[in-house]
């Protein structure tokens, strides 16, 4: 039986005092349940402060990205070893805002690849996170053009197999994957529920081919992309959707609480 999970991805929003006030506010109101895990993923700089707020509470701490080396001359990067020091439990990897061309600022003639995550670097990040006992939240999803060309399943399979290459299937126990169609993120265009369920089932089946089908049954698969209080219940009631990765709506305490109670 999988425990539902609702994770808030704050992206580059809120200074630490605002984040602390947000979490403090919903901690006072959130119903403590053991059938749903709640995670907040603040910006790196807010992690120490939010860690103090969520300590001994029902809320777990996540990061939004990580670098795959432990330490060294990697200006501006943060390692899993450093996240581990701050008791980070989860870490998002492969978000479409950090992958390949979606992390590339398209200025004619001076294309600057400032995030440029690839399946290969995502794979290295996952391995390092697992080493430190931090649960990866691996994001996969197709663009609108890929969907329109009928390539959704192919894209997702490539992303999954690339991210998981060389990882022992048994390590995927407690792993989290988020299906985030790129065209649904921050757009208000939520994926049709039946289609979201179909893709999440496909993700589970693909993991089952890679690892043991029993391990695949334990992997939590979230849906992300314009989840709001008015659509969360329907999405989370699907058999293969184990919760959500919430962007915009996680910045509002009331909306996030309503989404949690839908899980």
Sort 106 into a burial class: Cβ within 10 Å, 0-12 / 13-18 / 19+.
Answer: exposed
Residue reference for tokens 């109670």? 261
| Closest residue to ligand PGA in the complex (CB) | 247
| Of 5, 6, 9, 257, the one binding ligand PGA by CB under 6 A | 9
| Of 37, 117, 142, 180, the one binding ligand PGA by CB under 6 A | 180
Shortest approach of ligand PGA to residue 251 CB, angstroms?
9
| Of 48, 113, 186, 213, the one binding ligand PGA by CB under 6 A | 186
- Check residue 224 for interaction with ligand PGA (CB under 6 A): yes
Report how far Cα 135 is from the mean position of its chain's Cα atoms. 10
**Whole-angstrom distance, CA of residue 163 vs CA of residue 110:** 29
Among 98, 99, 68, 97, residue whose Cα is nearest residue 82: 68
- Cβ atoms < 10 Å from Cβ of 38: 26
CA end-to-end span of the chain: 14
- Check residue 185 for interaction with ligand PGA (CB under 6 A): yes
Shortest approach of ligand PGA to residue 191 CB, angstroms?
11
Residue range at the interface with ligand PGA (CB under 6 A); choices 14-22, 101-109, 179-187, 229-237: 179-187
- Check residue 59 for interaction with ligand PGA (CB under 6 A): no
Binding site for ligand PGA (CB under 6 A): 9, 180, 185-186, 224-227, 245-249
């Amino acid at each position: 039986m999988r425990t539902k999970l609702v994770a808030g991805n704050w992206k580059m929003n809120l200074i630490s005092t605002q984040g602390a006030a947000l979490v403090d506010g919903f901690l006072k109101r959130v119903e403590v349940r053991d059938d749903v895990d709640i995670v907040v993923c603040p910006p790196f700089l807010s992690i120490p402060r939010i860690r103090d707020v969520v300590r001994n509470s029902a809320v777990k701490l996540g990061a939004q990205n990580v670098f795959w080396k432990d330490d060294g001359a990697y200006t501006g990067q943060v390692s899993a070893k450093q996240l581990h020091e701050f008791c980070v439990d989860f870490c998002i990897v492969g978000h479409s805002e950090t992958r390949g061309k979606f992390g590339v600022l398209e200025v004619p003639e001076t294309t600057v690849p400032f995030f440029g995550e690839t399946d290969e670097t995502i794979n290295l990040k996952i391995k390092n996170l697992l080493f430190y006992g931090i649960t990866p939240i691996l994001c996969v999803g197709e663009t609108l053009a890929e969907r329109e060309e009928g390539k959704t399943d192919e894209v997702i399979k490539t992303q999954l197999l690339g991210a998981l290459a060389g990882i022992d299937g048994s390590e995927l126990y407690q792993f989290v994957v988020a299906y985030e169609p790129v065209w649904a993120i921050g757009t208000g265009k939520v994926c049709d529920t039946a289609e979201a369920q179909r893709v999440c089932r496909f993700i589970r089946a693909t993991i089952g081919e890679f690892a043991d089908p029993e391990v695949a049954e334990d992997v939590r698969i979230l849906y992300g992309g314009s989840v709001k209080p008015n659509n969360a219940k329907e999405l989370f009631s699907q058999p293969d959707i184990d919760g959500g990765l919430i962007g915009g709506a996680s910045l509002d305490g009331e909306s996030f609480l309503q989404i949690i109670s839908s899980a």
